[in-house]
Chain A
């Protein structure tokens, strides 16, 4: 079937789509989940690597209050657990949120998931959050609901969450050790008092762990988010990963700290470093040994609308939705048809992939894996000019094929072109963001960046424009092998999955 395309030309209509060639070819990230859980999450845009190209999500900002303070957050803005720092969302009443959700669901039938993630802590605003959920589960039963929380008010909310059929809860857990916690959370509001330091962190950690256990005991899916804060909790997160998995969390998503002085956060002002792209990836790799990671997470804003990586929120402002007249019963019929089409396409691709993997395995030559950065605007092909890429997709080529590793934004650590002066050019920042990669594949590249990339030990390559990512990467990998560049390194064990 012809799929309606969201924002990206050819991303979904392309015969194979992105997922068949490129994403997770050798590593189905949901592969070793129990069937029941996999069935639940495989079509979720935030959890499933291949579904995120097809299904869309939205957030509604109904929950302004918060009950803790994080050092990476400035309460003038939205919560930075779930949103990009420095962003303010339009606050909605539950009534407005329900209207907006229905309007989006009717206009974007691929929208299957509604999340409440802020701008504060959803469970610190139980009335607004639960009123929104209650009405949506009644009026728009074809939308999955999810919620994110810092966990402080989680145990007392589990009963109510279970009532509204919320099947995904995200808890942000940055530590298990209160001493570390005190370096991340200056205070929590608990039993009518503000509690500072280690004691506050201890309460928060206890509540998070208790909430996690209560949810999994009730069969509610739990994802854990962690913010990687170099020198504070980076090593500790490996332990966090093990513990939350043992308690039944199905995904652990490690996100980079984003700290900029202009956001006015403690970490930003104290010049706490953010992880580099390769530090982040190394930790994600170390953690995924025991847990599935959500590598394609984009840290979207609390009122984001659309496919991951895009935001169509501007089409659904309050004045615009007031003019839309939504017949939701009718919309649901249309939505069901669209979902069926997408599911059929996804199933076909998964079957195709399974068949491919079943082919007799070749004898391994012991070659080392190589990271490559891809400039693409979608469709699973190399079709972007190096200088136009706002984001690179990082893949690993190995003897097993290619697999998706992460997205890296070229402007991740900068909030706007004029503010990121300090003598470093955009190009230098981009090259820094590509650290750890040995090859960049793009449709075209200018003379200057070519030279700078080579100097940085990254081989630019513009010869594979319009080829699929997988074909091009395997060709380059074979060339590297022929040139004798792939002899196993001493440290290759650390890179291999």
Chain B
């Protein structure tokens, strides 16, 4: 049982210090959850800590690939529009990944 950080992650570091099990690591091209260490915070907190602070809709998913923060749930942007934006983000990310390691752009 473990949560997963996907390519929508913007590497903001917010989740990393909160994990009670040190399961989150900085990695390229984005942060990762070490599956063996993640307990989904059971026994420590009511809510999965990483998913409770992550600002990016869709970036943290469960074992069925269901996002803990679905489109629109954090930003208030209407669902359909939020889905489109996330899709766009995914395409841009995939293209950026092809170009090489993520860099901070101006």
What number of B residues sit within 8 Å (CB to CB) of A?
25
Are B55 and A69 neighbours in the complex by a CB distance under 8 Å?
A: yes
Is A256 among interface residues, defined by CB-CB distance under 8 A? Answer: no
Is B5 among interface residues, defined by CB-CB distance under 8 A? Answer: no
Contacts of A192 in B (CB 8 A): 18, 45-47, 49, 52
Q: Known: A69-B55, A75-B10, A120-B12. Is A266-B75 also a contact (CB below 8 A)?
A: yes
Is B74 among interface residues, defined by CB-CB distance under 8 A? Answer: yes
Are A65 and B47 neighbours in the complex by a CB distance under 8 Å?
A: no
Are A71 and B76 neighbours in the complex by a CB distance under 8 Å?
A: yes
CB distance from A137 to the nearest CB of B (A): 24
Q: Known: A192-B45, A194-B53. Is A66-B85 also a contact (CB below 8 A)?
A: no
Are A64 and B13 neighbours in the complex by a CB distance under 8 Å?
A: yes
Is A456 among interface residues, defined by CB-CB distance under 8 A? Answer: no
Is B64 among interface residues, defined by CB-CB distance under 8 A? Answer: no
Task: Name the residue on B nearest A65 (C-beta).
Answer: B14
Contacts of A75 in B (CB 8 A): 10, 12, 55-56
Are B75 and A69 neighbours in the complex by a CB distance under 8 Å?
A: yes
CB distance from A301 to the nearest CB of B (A): 9
CB distance from B90 to the nearest CB of A (A): 13
Is A88 among interface residues, defined by CB-CB distance under 8 A? Answer: yes
- Where chain A touches its partner, the secondary structure class is loop
Task: Name the residue on A nearest B69 (C-beta).
Answer: A194
CB distance from A224 to the nearest CB of B (A): 24
A64-99 CB contacts (< 8 Å) to partner B:
64-67, 69, 71, 75-76, 87-91
Which single member of A90, A124, A186, A266 contacts B104 (CB below 8 Å)? A90
Is A133 among interface residues, defined by CB-CB distance under 8 A? Answer: no
Is B77 among interface residues, defined by CB-CB distance under 8 A? Answer: yes
Is B63 among interface residues, defined by CB-CB distance under 8 A? Answer: no
Give A193 to B48 CA distance when docked, in angstroms.
9
Are B47 and A91 neighbours in the complex by a CB distance under 8 Å?
A: no
Give A72 to B59 CA distance when docked, in angstroms.
20
Task: Name the residue on B nearest A119 (C-beta).
Answer: B12
Are A88 and B104 neighbours in the complex by a CB distance under 8 Å?
A: yes
- Where chain B touches its partner, the secondary structure class is loop
Q: Known: A89-B104, A193-B52, A266-B75. Is A125-B13 also a contact (CB below 8 A)?
A: yes
Are A124 and B14 neighbours in the complex by a CB distance under 8 Å?
A: yes
Q: Chain B 47-86, CB within 8 Å of chain A: the 1/0 string?
A: 1010011011000000000000000001111000100010
Is B106 among interface residues, defined by CB-CB distance under 8 A? Answer: yes
Task: Name the residue on A nearest B105 (C-beta).
Answer: A88
CB distance from B70 to the nearest CB of A (A): 13
Are A64 and B12 neighbours in the complex by a CB distance under 8 Å?
A: yes
Contacts of B39 in A (CB 8 A): none
Task: Name the residue on B nearest A183 (C-beta).
Answer: B76
Q: Chain B 10-44, CB within 8 Å of chain A: the 1/0 string?
A: 11111001100000000000000000000000000
Contacts of B53 in A (CB 8 A): 65, 67, 189, 194
Contacts of A265 in B (CB 8 A): 75
Are A264 and B74 neighbours in the complex by a CB distance under 8 Å?
A: no
Are B12 and A194 neighbours in the complex by a CB distance under 8 Å?
A: no
Give A266 to B55 CA distance when docked, in angstroms.
13
Are A91 and B104 neighbours in the complex by a CB distance under 8 Å?
A: yes
Is A269 among interface residues, defined by CB-CB distance under 8 A? Answer: yes
Contacts of A194 in B (CB 8 A): 47, 52-53
Give A264 to B81 CA distance when docked, in angstroms.
10
Contacts of B47 in A (CB 8 A): 192-194
CB distance from A218 to the nearest CB of B (A): 27
Contacts of A76 in B (CB 8 A): 10, 56, 89
Q: Known: A69-B74, A266-B75. Is A193-B55 also a contact (CB below 8 A)?
A: no
Are A186 and B74 neighbours in the complex by a CB distance under 8 Å?
A: yes
Is A187 among interface residues, defined by CB-CB distance under 8 A? Answer: yes
Give A262 to B18 CA distance when docked, in angstroms.
31
Are A66 and B12 neighbours in the complex by a CB distance under 8 Å?
A: yes
20 A/B residue pairs, CB under 8 Å, sorted by A? A64-B11, A64-B12, A65-B17, A75-B12, A75-B55, A75-B56, A91-B11, A120-B14, A125-B13, A189-B14, A189-B52, A189-B53, A192-B47, A192-B52, A194-B52, A264-B85, A266-B75, A266-B76, A269-B77, A270-B77
Seen from chain A, the residues whose Cβ lies within 8 Å of a Cβ on chain B are: 64-67, 69, 71, 75-76, 87-91, 120, 124-125, 127, 186-187, 189, 192-194, 264-266, 269-270
Closest 10 CB pairs of A and B: A65-B14, A75-B55, A194-B52, A189-B53, A64-B13, A65-B13, A90-B104, A64-B12, A186-B76, A88-B104
User: Apart from A75-B12, A189-B53, A193-B47, what are 5 other A-B pairs with CB-CB below 8 Å?
Assistant: A66-B55, A67-B53, A91-B104, A194-B47, A269-B81
